[in-house]
Amino acid sequence: MHGFAYKNGSLHCEDVDLQSLADEHGTPLYVYSAGTLRDHYTRLDQAMAGVDHEVAYAVKANSNLSVLRLLAGLGAGFDIVSGGELFRVIKAGGDPAKCTFAGVGKTRGEIEYALRQGIYSFNVESEEELRFLNQVAGDLGLTAPAAVRVNPNVDAKTHKYISTGKSENKFGVDFELIEGLYARAAAELPHVKLRGLQMHIGSQLTSIQPFIEAVEKVTPLVLSLKEKHGIEFWSIGGGIGIVYHDSLAAGSVDWWDEKSEQERPLTLSQYGQALVPRLKDLGLKILLEPGRAIAGNAGVLLTRCLFEKKGTAKTFKIVDAGMNDLIRPALYEGHHEIVPVTEPGDTRVSVDVVGPICESGDFFCQNRELPDFQPGEGVALMSCGAYGFVMASNYNTRPLPAEILVDGATATVVRQRQTLDDLVAGEL
C-alpha cells in the first residue's frame, strides 16, 4: 500500500495536493511519501520477526539523502554498490558498520575508502576480486571482512536485464565452486576474513517460489561454510516485487482484500511467513537487501501535458518529462500507471504518452487506454520511487528534476531543480 489517493477530486500524496506542488515547483517533479517509506520498511522488518536479521536498504533504488536519513533513523542497514553510495549513506547519518558493499567492479580507491570507514562486509563477486581485496587490505595493514556472492542458478523469471541468479549472468560465483573458493581463501588470503555468504537472484519477483527455491538450495552450503569457516551471516538479497499495473488502486486495503490468493501479488508478510521457518534455526544473522519493495510505490513523477498530436495512425500526448527523467519504460519495457492529477471521468482514449527527447524510444506508454487529459493538465506516473531519479540524466542538456518529500501535510524540497548554470558547472 502507499500514500497516494484522490481526495476531493485531486490526487494527493498523504495530505498534500499534488497539483499545488506542480504549480509551486514546476514539472517534471519527483514526489515521495515519507509515510510509505516508513510503512514498507517497518512491515518487512516485522515480517522477519523470529530471525536475527537486518534490513539493508539497497541505496541504488533511491539515494536521496533525505530518504537515506529517514531509513537510517529507523535502524536500517544499507546495501551499497559504489564508493559514492557509501559517501551518501555517511552524509545522511547512516552507520558504515551496517553497510555491505556489492558490485562486480570495485576499484582500489573504493575499497580503500570502504576499509577505512569500517564497513560490515564486502560482497565479493569473483575469486579475482577476492584476491585483489586481500592485496589492498594488506597494503593498508587491515583485514577486509568479506562474503562471496553465490550464484544459485535459480531462474527468477523476471526481465532479462534484472535477472541476476543464473549461470549466464555476470554476477556471483557458480554454486559448485563456492566451497573450494572459501577453502583457498582461508588458506591463502591472510588479509581477508570470510564473514558470510551472499546471494541475490533478481528483481521484481512477484511470486514466493523462486525465493523458496534459492533458500532451500543454498541452505546446505551455508551450513557447511558455517561449520568449516565460522561464517556469521547469510545475505539472501532483495528482489521483492511491487505493483506497477494497478498501482493507484493498490494503495487501498480494499484492493488487496478483493483479490483471491492466486491473484494477489507477493506481500511482505507472505515473504516472511515463507522464509522465516526456513531460516530461524540456522544460527546465522540474515541480511535482506530490499530497494524497490521499500521505495518503489513511495514515489511518483509529476509531469504536464504540452500538446496533443493526432496523426492518421496514432494520437500522441506530449508531456514535459522525458526518458532522461524516467528511463525504465525505454530500458526495461517497464510499465508505469499514468493518472491525471485531477480525478478523471469515464472517457478513455488510446494514446502514446511521449516526451520531448529526440529519440523514438522516448515514450512512457504506447497504445494505452487512458483518461483523456488535455494540454496544460498534470499527470502522475505512479511507482517511480525506485529506479527513477537515480537513473536520470542530462541527455539533450535537460536539467534534472526537483525532488519533494511529503510527510503528512508537510512538503519539503529535498533536491533543488538543476539550473542551466548547473548543467555546465565543472566544464572548461
Backbone angles phi, psi at 206, to 5 degrees: -110, 10
- Would you place residue 162 in the very low, low, confident or very high pLDDT band (cuts 50, 70, 90)? very low
Query: Is residue 93 marked as binding?
Result: no
Residue 119 identity (one-letter amino acid): I
Query: Is residue 289 marked as binding?
Result: yes
3-state secondary structure 136-172: HHHHHCCCEEEEEEEECCCCCCCCHHHECCCCCCCCC
Its pTM stands at 0.95
Query: Is residue 88 marked as binding?
Result: no
For the chain, percent of residues with pLDDT exceeding 90 = 89
**Would you say residue 170 has pLDDT above 70?**
no
pLDDT tens-digit profile of 324-347?
Answer: 999 999 998 999 999 999 999 999
Computed over every residue of the chain, the mean pLDDT equals 94
Q: Which residues pair with 402 in a beta bridge?
A: 29
pLDDT tens-digit profile of 108-131?
Answer: 999 999 999 999 999 999 999 999
For the chain, percent of residues with pLDDT exceeding 70 = 96
Buried b or exposed e, range 61-72, using 16+ CB within 10 angstroms: bbbbbbbbbbbb
**Would you say residue 160 has pLDDT above 80?**
no
Classify residue 232 as exposed, middle or buried by CB count within 10 Å of its CB (0-12, 13-18, 19+). Answer: middle
Residue 240 identity (one-letter amino acid): I
Segment 136-152 shows an average pLDDT of 97
**Would you say residue 9 has pLDDT above 90?**
yes
Residue 175 identity (one-letter amino acid): F
* Residue 157 pLDDT: 55
Query: Is residue 290 marked as binding?
Result: yes
Domains of the chain (ranges plus CATH)?
4-29+297-424 (2.40.37.10), 35-293 (3.20.20.10)
- Would you place residue 153 in the very low, low, confident or very high pLDDT band (cuts 50, 70, 90)? confident
Beta strands 299-310 and 378-381: pairing type?
antiparallel
Query: Is residue 387 marked as binding?
Result: yes
Query: Is residue 359 marked as binding?
Result: yes
**Would you say residue 22 has pLDDT above 80?**
yes
Neighbouring residues of 219: CB distance < 8 A, sequence distance ≥ 6: 278, 282
Segment 2-11 shows an average pLDDT of 97
User: Of the listed 13, 99, 305, 358, which one is catalytic?
Assistant: 358
* Residue 163 pLDDT: 45
Q: Which residues pair with 122 in a beta bridge?
A: 101, 146
**Would you say residue 270 has pLDDT above 90?**
yes
- Would you place residue 262 in the very low, low, confident or very high pLDDT band (cuts 50, 70, 90)? confident
Task: Examine the residue annotation and report whether 305 is marked as an active-site residue of this protein.
Answer: no
Neighbouring residues of 186: CB distance < 8 A, sequence distance ≥ 6: 194, 229
Query: Is residue 188 marked as binding?
Result: no
